[in-house]
Amino acid sequence: MRVVVATGNAGKVREIGAALSGLGWALEGLGGLPLPEETGATYEENAALKACAASLTTRLPALADDSGLEVEALGGQPGVYSARFGGRSSDLERSLYLLEQLRRAPTRRAKFVSVIVLAYPDGHVESYRGELPGTLLEGPRGEHGFGYDPLFVPDGETRTLAEMTLEEKQAISHRGRALAALREAHRNGPPP
Which residues form the catalytic set?
66
The residue number whose beta carbon is nearest to ligand ITT equals 147
Structural contact between residues 154 and 168, judged by C-beta atoms closer than 8 angstroms = no
Number of residues that bind ligand ITT (CB under 6 A): 22
CA distance 111 to 131: 7
Does the annotation list 9 as a binding residue?
A: yes
Question: Could you tell me the smallest distance in angstroms from the CB atom of residue 39 to ligand ITT?
Answer: 12
**Site membership for ligand ITT, residue 147 (CB under 6 A):** yes
Q: Could you tell me how many helices (H) and strands (E) the chain has, helices first?
A: 5, 6
Evaluate whether 5 touches 29 at the Cβ level (below 8 Å): yes
Does position 12 interact with ligand ITT (CB under 6 A)? The reply is: yes
Which residues, 29 to 68, sit near ligand ITT by CB under 6 A? 35, 38, 65-68
The C-alpha angle 173, 179, 181, rounded to 5 degrees, equals 105
Residue number with CB closer to ligand ITT (39 or 188): 39
The 3-class secondary structure across 104-154, one letter per residue, is CCCCCEEEEEEEEEEECCCCCEEEEEEEEEEEECCCCCCCCCCCCHHHEEE
Establish if 170 lies at the interface with ligand ITT (CB under 6 A): no
Binding site for ligand ITT (CB under 6 A): 7-9, 12, 35, 38, 65-69, 82-83, 112, 145-149, 161, 173, 175
Which residues are annotated as part of the binding site?
7-12, 37, 66-67, 146-149, 169, 174-175
